[in-house]
Amino acid sequence: MSNICTAPIYKMNSFENLFIEMTAKHCNQKCKCCYIDFNGNKNNKDFISIDSIKESLEDTKDKNLQCIYLCGAEPMTHPDFNQILRLCLKRCNVCIMTNGSFLNEKKIRFLSKVESEGENQIIFGLSLVHYNESENDKMKYRGNYRQNIFALKTLSRYNFNSVLFVQNYYKLSEAEILQKFCEIFEEQEIYNVDVKINCSYPDYDDENYTKPSISTDCMYGRILTQNGVYSCPLLSGDYRGRCGSNFQNFSEVVSAESEFCATCSKNNNTMFTVV
């Protein structure tokens, strides 16, 4: 007897979010929980070209982009980071998805000046896996927690808005995570931060669990990489997420067949967006 499995098909509702993979495999850190396969070398100089970004902005000029996400590996290692940021800010708000290690006071002051040159906003996306420093650093790297808290505190002094993505590997309750971060923010005088919890689905291990409505990143955007257009940051470079070579002609439909899709579909929200 044959067993035919069909993956759900997710169609794009609206193209609001343009993710740009500034580098696929260049990062100045090494987290234990990182989903990127660095093949033993995280120093690949695989930076996306400015020309390719310019082309994509032109090709998507009829789309009502709400936010451009500069992501990676670590986007701030790109040698032309400042130029790309200014270019994207001319179009819409820009979210920098970073590990926080480049966000010292001098850099934040500079970014505040860049933001003040135009109308659009810079938002920061940082991430932790636990509100407790040692539990967090166990999954990430030593010093990650302090770097992120310092960055959030300094960003808030400069009136930037940030989103703290919490990858809930420890499967804590959402209420606990929110309460603890609320206390930390109050104690540290950190403002303007939204906490977004990912993979927090109490019934995740229950195969019969179905979420009432599904909202995934591939329904609201695409990611541009050096090698073409893919469905979302989790599937960049993966043939299962391939949507085309550029934005002149790309697929608006995704067959959610990967193991990432299975996890993502059970999450309560888009995983990478800040709004």
Using CB under 6 A, list all residues that contact ligand SF4.
10, 27, 29-31, 34, 36, 72-74, 99, 216-218, 231-232, 234-235, 241, 254, 256, 258, 260-261, 264-265
> Closest separation between CB of residue 204 and ligand SF4, Å?
15
Q: Rounded distance, CA 142 to CA 125, Å?
A: 20
Of 19 and 115, which CB lies nearer to ligand SF4 in the complex structure? 19
User: Considering beta carbons, is residue 115 or 164 the nearer one to ligand SF4?
Assistant: 164
Q: Which is nearer to ligand SF4, 31 or 178 (CB)?
A: 31
Determine the 3-state secondary structure of 218 from DSSP.
helix
Give the shortest CB-254-to-ligand SF4 separation in angstroms.
Answer: 5
| Least distance (Å) between residue 22 CB and ligand SF4 | 11
Min CB(234)–ligand SF4 separation in Å: 4
Contacts 24+ apart (CB under 8 A), 251-260: 252/11, 252/12, 253/9, 253/10, 253/11, 253/12, 254/9, 254/10, 254/11, 254/218, 255/7, 255/8, 255/9, 256/7, 256/8, 256/9, 256/10, 256/216, 256/218, 257/7, 258/234, 260/234, 260/235
If the CB atoms of residues 74 and 115 are measured against ligand SF4, the closer one turns out to be 74
